[in-house]
Amino acid sequence: MSLDPETARQIEELSRDLRPLLVLDVDDVLIEFIRPFPNYLKSRGYELRLETFRLHGNIYDTATDRPVERELASELIDGFYASQADWQTMTAGAAEALDGFAGAAEIVLLTAMPHRHRDTRRRHLRSLGLAYPLLTTEAPKGPAIEALRGPAARPVAFVDDMPNNLASVGRHVPDAHLFHLMADNSLRELMPPPAEGIQVVRDWPDAAPRIARALGI
């Protein structure tokens, strides 16, 4: 899969930075998703039963006790993103960790969500004190980070809770340092062990020194 053209346009707006590059996923890395999402569903008469590590197929209509169709699940997820400021709070330790990098790295946030939610998310992140550039992508993350790094051979670190995103970046930027961070570590039981070369971190205080080492900052 190639680079999402809208993501390419967003990358063009950034100044060409030569510092080490730190790219961060947003949901369940910087702000909570999997803990507030069930509360949002409940407020609308649905519930999340995470039997596998995916949303589709695991959202149930409380009244009928049946899983909802794919289209309704997508609508519910969309509604959550539209009202994210009401639900999504900061992941513990994230702000302190990023403050600790204090300008030594270029920090960019890369979120896999429809582009139409970019402004809402940007406003929400700013209100939480996370005023870093935010890119949205509707395609795999690997090509986006390859483009973001640019021609400079600078170190790259990438943090995400979704193994498929880490794998995509590993394919496109083979020397990137990959970190698997999950706001809710209990979900690790629902997924296979991480692929070789991926560093598992338990939380932000664990991640921060490892990221600094990887980036040489």
Residues forming the site for Mg ion (CB under 5 A): 25, 27-28, 161
- DSSP conformational letter for 193: P
Report in angstroms how near the CB of residue 16 gets to Mg ion at its nearest.
27
Nearer to Mg ion, 62 or 164 (CB): 164
Nearer to Mg ion, 177 or 180 (CB): 180
**Residue in the structure block whose two tokens are 């870093």:** 132
Report in angstroms how near the CB of residue 112 gets to Mg ion at its nearest.
7
Pairing of strands 59-61, 66-67: antiparallel
| 82 backbone dihedrals φ, ψ, rounded to 5° | -65, -30
Pairing of strands 21-24, 106-111: parallel
Report in angstroms how near the CB of residue 109 gets to Mg ion at its nearest.
11
Nearer to Mg ion, 55 or 215 (CB): 55
Nearer to Mg ion, 28 or 106 (CB): 28
Report in angstroms how near the CB of residue 199 gets to Mg ion at its nearest.
16
Taking the C-alpha atoms of residue 12 and residue 27, their distance in angstroms, rounded to an integer, is 24
Nearer to Mg ion, 34 or 215 (CB): 34
Q: Closest residue (Cβ) to Mg ion?
A: 27
Helices then strands, each counted (H, E), the chain:
8, 9
The sign of the CA dihedral 205, 121, 27, 156 is negative
| 57 backbone dihedrals φ, ψ, rounded to 5° | 95, -15
Taking the C-alpha atoms of residue 126 and residue 204, their distance in angstroms, rounded to an integer, is 19
Report in angstroms how near the CB of residue 205 gets to Mg ion at its nearest.
19
